[in-house]
Amino acid sequence: MTTQELPNWLKQRAFLTPDRTALTNGDVEYTFGELWEKAISIGEQLHTIVKHSSHPFLGLMIKNKVESVFLVHAIQQLGFTTVLLNNKLSENELSFQIQDMGLGTVIYDDEFAGKLSFLGGEVEGVSFSQLFGTDPTRFEVKDHFQLDQACSVMYTSGTTGAPKGVLQSYGNHWWSAIGSSLNLGITENDTWLCSVPLFHISGYSILMRSVVYGMNVRLFETFDVEGINRELMSGNVTIMSVVSNMLSRLMKDMGDETYHPRFRCMLLGGGPAPLPLLQKCKENGVPVFQTYGMTETASQIVTLSPEYSMSKLGSAGKPLFPSELKIKNEEGTAKANQEGEILVKGPNVTTGYYRREEANAKSFESGWFHTGDIGYMDEEGFLFVLDRRSDLIISGGENVYPAEIESVLLSCDGVEDAGVAGITSDEWGQVPCAFIVKKDHLTKEDIITHCEKNLASYKRPKKIVFVDELPRNASNKLLRRVLREQWEKGMVADED
């Protein structure tokens, strides 16, 4: 039987295991029974506001708070599709997304009242405090979720091309959760620490897994390094999602301590990770699972299985059970160790971008999604992600991958953080430029010497720029495009 519908997830979960812990934040705790009640009672308030709306989409701008989790579920219960607005965007960017999705209402955390002060007219803005002060009206709770219905929309991070709304169906989230469980396992005592943004797929997918698995989410409002390290050492938490920058900060703060043996998975996504960091984690006994995924795949699609976490260090692993992967180059499907574009397929992959016929035609081909990223598979089928395509530097006809150079730079004593971008060169087309956050007493000569030891000539940075910090997006991904733009606009300068 091909299944079109499943029981309403939160309702079913609250029926099956009402007393199991669903959500904690500091000392605050909610069971699945309580989460269900919150979703319904807030849903009834929201219903008063949107019951005459003809818009299928509802905007939501949130921080990582328990109220945001209630809202996510309330909107699902009302049957609307949630458009998750990135709270770091500028007014222009937000306006674009709101118009692009044709939103009629945006619900927002009171903290964003200023940022959204431009709302009004055709687009109603409703703050949390307005919403929570509204009289409730009853609505009919659906017994089932339709798997092909759009559950959420997220705009791609903007590190590549023009922003596009990614439609994520209930089915996409379901299969993502199931695919992850078949790789990482599920135990009754799992707790997933969420300090990644709830408005990104990394955070939102934790909420979906929580309901499907019956698993506790330990929510952090900010990336509180010390507090999170204490959690990981306490044994309260078994799994955490990070990107490499977060992991690096955790490792620095960790010192000589070790994490609790119950902590079983540090899920590391958000782009290729520097090898020195992975090696440090290995030495400290931190169970890192590298993973590869994106908004379009409703989070992970390729993850390293536990038995290979050490022997295949640096690899993102193999596809999750329901998914597939191939590498394509000019000659067709690439052979082992040949690099090319990463293509993915599976029931967690989006059906497409909202109203982007051209991009959809370009990105999807017989069920395969063209990620635009570059990588290769080794003889055993393990994926190694080399870079995000848009960041690829082509220098004198040679492909240069910023992540590889960054990895080398980070292994240099005195380098705190490093980003590499391609800058225009009359001679070579592009050359790599290194942007370095340094500790005391590091000179450019030190870096050059280190690179000469570790990199082929064409890969060595032709410029080195010291900066105070590197541009990163809300999920801490390095924005190499912004580095390049800052350079081109003269906002960062070579002090030589």
| Residues near its own copies (CB under 8 A) | 1-4, 6-7, 12-13, 15-17, 19-20, 147-148, 169, 171-172, 175, 178, 181-182, 185-188, 212-214, 305-307, 318-319, 321-324, 347, 349, 351, 381
Question: Three-class SS of residue 166?
Answer: strand
Q: Which is nearer to its own copies, 62 or 151 (CB)?
A: 151
Q: Which is nearer to its own copies, 169 or 407 (CB)?
A: 169
Question: Which parts of 378-414 are beta strand (E)?
Answer: 383-388, 393-395, 398-400
Report the C-alpha gap between 447 and 13 in whole angstroms: 55
Report the C-alpha gap between 477 and 480 in whole angstroms: 9
CA torsion sign for 443, 445, 446, 447 is positive
Residue 149 and residue 170 in contact, taking contact as beta carbons nearer than 8 Å: yes
- Residues forming a β-bridge with 145: 6
For the bound state, the minimum distance from the C-beta of residue 124 to its own copies, rounded and expressed in Å, comes to 32
Q: Which is nearer to its own copies, 66 or 178 (CB)?
A: 178
Q: How many CB atoms lie within 10 A of CB 405?
A: 23
For the bound state, the minimum distance from the C-beta of residue 80 to its own copies, rounded and expressed in Å, comes to 20
Question: Which parts of 26-121 are beta strand (E)?
Answer: 28-31, 57-61, 81-84, 105-108
CB neighbours of 93 closer than 8 A, spacing ≥ 6?
A: 86, 158, 163
For the bound state, the minimum distance from the C-beta of residue 177 to its own copies, rounded and expressed in Å, comes to 9
Length of the chain (residues): 496
For the bound state, the minimum distance from the C-beta of residue 105 to its own copies, rounded and expressed in Å, comes to 27
Q: Which is nearer to its own copies, 310 or 394 (CB)?
A: 310
Report the C-alpha gap between 318 and 100 in whole angstroms: 35
For the bound state, the minimum distance from the C-beta of residue 303 to its own copies, rounded and expressed in Å, comes to 10
Q: Which is nearer to its own copies, 162 or 310 (CB)?
A: 310
Provide φ and ψ at 26, rounded to 5°.
60, -125
What is the greatest pairwise CA distance in the chain?
Answer: 70
Report the C-alpha gap between 315 and 304 in whole angstroms: 7
For the bound state, the minimum distance from the C-beta of residue 250 to its own copies, rounded and expressed in Å, comes to 24
Nearest CA to 404 among 390, 423, 419? 419
For the bound state, the minimum distance from the C-beta of residue 205 to its own copies, rounded and expressed in Å, comes to 16
For the bound state, the minimum distance from the C-beta of residue 174 to its own copies, rounded and expressed in Å, comes to 9
Q: Which is nearer to its own copies, 143 or 224 (CB)?
A: 143
Position 409, amino acid: L
Distances (CA, A) of 449 to 215, 275, 409, 436, 445: 50, 19, 11, 15, 6
Q: Which is nearer to its own copies, 324 or 416 (CB)?
A: 324
For the bound state, the minimum distance from the C-beta of residue 60 to its own copies, rounded and expressed in Å, comes to 23
Residue 218: both structure tokens together: 């330990």
Report the C-alpha gap between 159 and 139 in whole angstroms: 40
For the bound state, the minimum distance from the C-beta of residue 176 to its own copies, rounded and expressed in Å, comes to 11
Q: Which is nearer to its own copies, 65 or 262 (CB)?
A: 262
Q: Which is nearer to its own copies, 137 or 187 (CB)?
A: 187
First to last CA, the chain: 68
The residue whose two tokens read 């570790």 is: 454
Q: Which is nearer to its own copies, 169 or 430 (CB)?
A: 169
Q: Which is nearer to its own copies, 118 or 321 (CB)?
A: 321
Q: Which is nearer to its own copies, 31 or 53 (CB)?
A: 31
Report the C-alpha gap between 345 and 110 in whole angstroms: 39
Q: What is the DSSP string of 276-301?
A: HHHHHHHHTT--EEEEEEEGGGTEEE
Q: Which is nearer to its own copies, 53 or 305 (CB)?
A: 305
For the bound state, the minimum distance from the C-beta of residue 15 to its own copies, rounded and expressed in Å, comes to 6
CA dihedral 383, 384, 389, 393 (to 10 degrees): -160
- Residues forming a β-bridge with 432: 422
Q: Considering just the CA atoms, what is the radius of gyration of the chain in Å?
A: 23
For the bound state, the minimum distance from the C-beta of residue 45 to its own copies, rounded and expressed in Å, comes to 28
For the bound state, the minimum distance from the C-beta of residue 67 to its own copies, rounded and expressed in Å, comes to 26
